[in-house]
Structure 1
Amino acid sequence: MTGQELDRSVHHQLRTLTKENAEGVARHLVMVAATLAADETQLALAHAETAVRRAGRVPAAREALGMVAYRMGDYNRALGEFRTVRRLSGSSHLLALMVDCERGLGRFDRALELASSPEARTLTAAEREELTIVVSGVRRDMGQDAAALVALQGPGLRRKGAFRLQYAYADTLAALGRADEALDWFTRAALGDVEGETDAVERVEELQGTVQTDLLEGDDSEESGAEDSLGTEDPDVR
């Protein structure tokens, strides 16, 4: 790991540090990403904390620590770090994660209030999509499945590549007992999820079995009725 693997925007943030310190922090940030990818959260935490000790006013360092805390389920700490990133950078790109932290802390009203703040209007299309998914999750946690479904409905739902949004929509339909519609949307999500980030394929297979069983039950009934009809002699026919 040389540190050169980082995005150019992060290197730009590190220019406020001495050359030696910038190189060291860059290596720690690369290691945070690598260890998180390997699900070695304790090691990722150690690298992130070191990066923050050496570059506490660099947004990328605080974001890395927030991401590790978020992955570990330490939502209070993650929220604090994400707020610091927002203050240092002036960017609200972590808004969806902040809302999800409030959700994780059980503060549903705060989560919805934050999601509807003016900052939400500054997000990119991809960031708004993530926020929509989180808001729907908040509604489901509140037992408002119908409202969760409505939250996901919008022009972005049919957008090519919006498989995460489509998956959330399908999952909510399934929770509402609308299996046939859920199957359709899980299928859409599976086709878009080329990297296998979700279990959409498994959900399709599961629902296909359920729907097929329902259809077969209906067919058996109809066939039975047809057989009864054929087996009964019509008194008017001689």
Structure 2
Amino acid sequence: MADQRRNQRPSGDGPRRSSSGGRPAAGRSGKPTGSSSRSSSSSSAGRSGKPDSRAGGKPPARSGGKPAARSGGKPPARGGRPAGRREEKPTRTEEQARYDGPELPEEITGRELDRSVAAQLKGLPEKLAARVARHLAAAGIFIDENPELAYQHAMAARARASRIAVVREAAGEAAYAAGHYAEALAELRAAKRMNGATAYLPIMADCHRALGKPQEALKLAKSPSVPNFAPEAKAEMTIVEAGARRDLGQLDAALRTLELAPLMSKSRASWVVRLRYAYADTLEAAGRDQDALTWFHRVDAIDSEELTDAADRAEALEKRLG
């Protein structure tokens, strides 16, 4: 389901790529960006807290049960509120703001969703299904260019339909893209409980890394379902596993993990690019600069979409080596 939902995006072909060199977020070969998840209170969708007190402060004191006289001789309006002053509306709670979600652009109709995703919403009332579909579609559209906005849309869908697996999946992927790693882990765990899917495991493992728990990432990497993954998903898990080894200071183990992967595949698919890049990066971290240079060149040779900064890394190494 994860791959099907991603098909709605205008661009992108898998887990989100980081801004540094185009490396995949689920395949960072070094330490993941962000050591903890950011609180959802940073969302601009709403504010938490109690409603503001009434304008004008406390009502005038009463004397003998009658309204106290004011300087102008006119008693206060009924209810003790000064005349001529409007009572301010209470602010929305964070929960209300999340339910409302960001404003939906008119051009996003919900028909952008993959049919298999839309089919899972058919059990909802028609108007509710339409609203959830629009938020899911918006999350898919914005996830690359504005992941925080995508996250807010996904959470609005979750607030309305939390018992649907594809909604929890979307919330998890958007939270991951926005750097809310604890939330992403919780949402993807929920989706996995609902539909039994294992496609989320590489992202879940990378969330553990981002939260400073590389050992938990390694446990997921050894899950029985991993050997049966499709090549791209298997490559993503290999990269995350090698990264977890690096987090633990085990560079030799990280290199061995990557060397067991099909680094010399003749395919020019993005997963091969990412595997080779992770290997070159780990070689450089291990002090094997000449070998790293060779592999950065091998990355650059197949990276026609410039997913990585392999060419720049190779140039920097050439200057260092003289």
TM-score by length of 2: 0.62
Per-residue CA deviations over 1:51-91 (Å, capped at 9, x if unaligned) read: 11222122221122112222333222111111011111211
- The whole-number CA distance in structure 1 between the counterparts of 2:118 and 2:262 is 33
Q: Match of 2:220?
A: 114
Q: How does 1:39-188 map onto structure 2 within 5 Å?
A: 39-41=146-148, 43-159=149-265, 160=267, 161=269, 162-188=272-298
Relative contact order, higher structure (CA 8 A, sep 6+): 2
In 1, the alpha carbon distance for the partners of 2:115 and 2:309 equals 33
Query: Matched residues in 2 for 1:20 and 1:195: separation?
Result: 41
* TM-score, with structure 1 as normaliser: 0.82
Q: Percent identity?
A: 44
1-structure distance, mates of 2:144, 2:128: 25
Alignment partner for residue 120 of structure 2, among 1, 10, 13?
Answer: 13
> In the alignment, residue 188 of structure 2 is paired with which amino acid?
F
* Structure 1 residues without counterparts, runs of 5 or longer: 214-238
Supply the distance in 1 between the matched residues of 2:109 and 2:301 (Cα, whole angstroms).
Answer: 37
Residues in 1 aligned to 2:163 and 2:303: alpha-carbon distance in whole angstroms: 37
Partners in 2 of 1:88 and 1:122 — Cα distance? Answer: 21
Rg larger for: 2
The one of 104, 111, 118 equivalent to 1:4 is 111
Is the contact made by 1:3 and 1:23 (CA closer than 8 Å) also made in structure 2?
yes
1: distance between equivalents of 2:289 and 2:245? Answer: 20
Given the alignment of the two structures, is residue 37 of structure 1 paired with residue 144 of structure 2, yes or no? yes
Closer, same or farther in 2 for the Cα pair 1:40/1:78, shift >3 Å? closer
The CA distance in 2 between the partners of 1:147 and 1:170, in whole Å, is 15
Does structure 2 retain, via aligned residues, the 8 Å contact 1:92–1:122? no
Change in Cα spacing, 1:14 to 1:188, as seen in structure 2 (3 Å) is: farther
1:146-205 Cα offsets, whole Å, 9 max, x none, are: 111111112521222200000000000111111221112112222322222221121122
Tell me whether 1:201 sits opposite 2:308 in the alignment. Answer: no
Return 5+ residue gaps in structure 2 as ranges.
1-107
Deviates more, 1:63-72 or 1:141-150: 63-72
Instruction: From the two aligned structures, give the one with the greater helix fraction.
Output: 1
Shift of the alpha carbon at 1:9?
A: 2.3
The number of residues matched between the two structures is 211
1:47 and 1:4 map into 2 onto residues whose CA distance is 16
On the 8 A contact 1:3/1:29 being kept in 2, the answer is yes
> Aligned-residue CA RMSD in angstroms?
1.7
Q: How much does 1:144 deviate? A: 0.7
